[in-house]
Amino acid sequence: MSAQPVFDSALSGALLRPRSIAIVGASADLAKNNSRPQRYLARHGYDGAIHPVNPRYEELFGLPCHASVSAIRAPVDHAYLMVPTHAVEASLRDCIEAGVRCASIFSGGFAEAGAEGEALQERIVAIAREGGLRLLGPNCMGVINVNAKMTLSPNAVLERDRMQPGKLGLVSQSGSLIGALVSRGQARGVNFGTLVSVGNECDLSVGEIASMMLDDDDLEVVCLFLETLRQRDQLENMAWKASKRGKPVLAYVLGQSDLGRSIAQSHTGALAGNAAAMESFLADMGILRVRLFETLIEAPALVAARPKAKGRNVSIITTTGGGGALVADNLGARGVTVVPPDPALKAALREFRLELGDSPIIDLTMGGAREEVVDTCVGALMRNDAVDLVVMVVGSSSEFRPDLATRPLVKWADAGKPVTAFLCPNAVESLDLLQMAGIPAFRTPESCADAIDAYLSWRDPRALPRVALPEAVGGLLSGAGALDEDRSLAVFRELGVRVAETRTLGLNEPIPDDLTYPVVAKVLSDRIAHKSDIGGVVLGVTDALALEDARSRIIRNVAQHLPEVTPDGILVQTMHKGLAEAIVGFLDDPIAGPVIMVGMGGILSEIYRDVAVRLAPVTLEIAREMIAEVRGFAPLRGARGQQKGDLEALAQVVTRLSALATPGGAAVAGAEINPVLVGPEGAGAVAVDGLIHLRAKAVDDA
């Protein structure tokens, strides 16, 4: 957990609830975006001071227009810059001279436009920091605070006559999506109170702005629309603050993070340096990840002002078998357990002449769609400690007879565990009824399952452990770029990982007499990542003559495939066998930071992509959780009578490699052991191949 910054109430007020606004580049031309913010502020009842700024006008829409911000001669909390890109620097200096607290920049053409724009963006940030001015954007759609009647944005959603106040906050890396969420939300009575478009996020970040929203008593849930992670530490600070305040944070993530180019050759980079790393960050920070855009609107009703669930067990009551099956299928695909009715509930329903079969779904059929039956079911499930959440799936009666199975749910809104509903038809009246009562109601089975999965996965942020690296490791991690396998294995050995016995032979060195066969022969070079791809590995070498032949073949194969590479030698390694191969990898992800992964190993690891990822370092308990998530390890868990493997030893490998995330291991960009051979239970696990990449500037950073 990073150190918590001191909350700046003045900045929060200037950004989200300014009492005076300057619109720089305001226009009288109704066809231009520049005319919108002033008109929208007036339309939606903003009662603070509005100062249009444009030297071409003396007045705009009935207000005096100023030649510059410094000419206003009155305090300005927030300036919105809608000037050409080349004029932004001068406008910022003008704002600094006028003592403006923060400025939002609508103008584009900065980092999103290439290297020249990125340099310009760095320049305006430097100007603002020197002058004590905080920046939102550039390339942003501004700030909308419906609860404060402050609509500082050109977003066309503000053309509507009325904006409904709401209890949801939104911080979005996509400006246009703000309007879509407002429109789709208001259509179903779900209202956002405060919305901020961060644009390029050059200064004020998602984390810092979301943290401000957590201090707003009008907001119950903060939603994030993310395309990437910037200023990770501030997001982490916000997550801990949200946990302390008891306010849930939901995130919808668009796209995947980029891979670090320095580790592009490693399996770990391909497996963990993508959406998995970002997802791991969100989960470890207690931020609820939703996978459907629709869920970002519907899930807040489920998580607002509600404690975290103890487990992942759901009970489904339905008046339509098909509808119940849709929800159950989607929940099952997300790893949520559907709990079947217990004998007590079955006996209670027999009094209503309802006989339940062996299905895990409590199917009441049409005959059970009445209040007393619904009450009996929900009441019994409330008393069942094996159930964490109840889903009521209602068929056509929800559209035409809401009194039968929909209205009876209302009384359970404040029950001890969540009661949710999926209504199969387009039952607008019933949806409104449940929403007004505080029962989360969903329009699709996919969104219903997505929201439930997010809620049941919700946990407190995870404090990362502090682990001291052995002193010998630091010496082995000097330099930059890739380490050869011999040196990489030496690092793993010093971390406490069991490593196969190895010897290094020169290209022309005589074969030693004291080797124990069979052995594996491998090319040794820090320039060859995937040795087997070029014929750089020979297995099952049985004697000295065979080893000489293997060395010759390897040298010829390298010369054929990589003529520019001269091997440093041949690595001779004792043959080991195991029940299965695993891959354990460490990655300093450019987006999420240090992560550790474990999954199915060997040459097919990237094909199966069956991995678990967490922020690094991890405890032994977390490593065990990760291993339990990997489907391919089922045989090692004894599935179908298979011999159990030493997964505890594998967990130790995961934990020890994850220690590279400590400050002493900061030089490591990526590391992997592939494969780790997992032996029978109690026999341990052994690393037989490894790779480490150091950061390009490891020496400078040390």
Is residue 123 scored above 90 in pLDDT?
yes
> Per-residue confidence at 402, pLDDT binned at 50, 70, 90?
confident
Check: CB of residue 124 under 8 Å from CB of residue 202: yes
pTM given for the model = 0.89
Tell the residue number behind the tokens 């820090």, with chain if given: 526
Whole-number pLDDT of residue 259: 36
Comparing 29-38, 259-268, 575-584, which segment has the lowest mean pLDDT? Answer: 259-268
> Per-residue confidence at 699, pLDDT binned at 50, 70, 90?
very low
Is residue 4 scored above 50 in pLDDT?
no
> Per-residue confidence at 254, pLDDT binned at 50, 70, 90?
confident
Start-to-end CA distance of the chain, whole Å, equals: 22
Whole-number pLDDT of residue 175: 82
Check: CB of residue 49 under 8 Å from CB of residue 21: yes
> Per-residue confidence at 491, pLDDT binned at 50, 70, 90?
very high
For residue 98 the two structure tokens come to: 């006028």
Whole-number pLDDT of residue 366: 66
Is residue 270 scored above 90 in pLDDT?
no
Tell the residue number behind the tokens 């097919």, with chain if given: 604
> Per-residue confidence at 274, pLDDT binned at 50, 70, 90?
low
Helix axes 232-245, 206-214, angle to 10 degrees: 20
pLDDT (mean) for 203-225: 97
Check: CB of residue 160 under 8 Å from CB of residue 148: no
pLDDT (mean) for 290-314: 95
- For 87-101, write each residue's pLDDT tens digit: 999 999 999 999 999
Comparing 174-178, 255-259, 586-590, which segment has the lowest mean pLDDT? Answer: 255-259
Is residue 266 scored above 50 in pLDDT?
no
> Per-residue confidence at 204, pLDDT binned at 50, 70, 90?
very high
Q: Which residues of 636-660 are buried (b: 16+ CB within 10 A; e: fewer)?
A: beeeeeeeebbbebbbbbbbbbbbb
* Dist CA 593 CA 482 (whole Å): 19
* Strand, helix or coil for residue 545: helix
Strands 59-60 and 63-64: antiparallel
pLDDT (mean) for 597-602: 88
Higher pLDDT, 260 or 378: 378
Among 237-246, 468-477, 594-603, the range of highest mean pLDDT: 237-246
Among 228-232, 260-264, 313-317, 630-634, the range of highest mean pLDDT: 313-317
The three state secondary structure string of 372-386 is HHHHHHHHHHHHCCC
- For 629-673, write each residue's pLDDT tens digit: 999 999 999 998 899 999 999 999 999 999 998 765 558 889 999
Whole-number pLDDT of residue 479: 79
* Dist CA 249 CA 226 (whole Å): 12
> Per-residue confidence at 164, pLDDT binned at 50, 70, 90?
very high
Q: What residues pair up with 422 in beta bridges, in sequence order?
A: 393, 442
Contacts of 563 (CB under 8 A, 6+ apart): none
Whole-number pLDDT of residue 666: 56
* Dist CA 201 CA 213 (whole Å): 17
> Per-residue confidence at 265, pLDDT binned at 50, 70, 90?
very low
> Per-residue confidence at 273, pLDDT binned at 50, 70, 90?
very low
Domains and CATH numbers, the chain: 1-145 (3.40.50.720), 309-457 (3.40.50.261), 502-574 (3.30.1490.20), 580-701 (3.30.470.20)
pLDDT (mean) for 482-489: 90
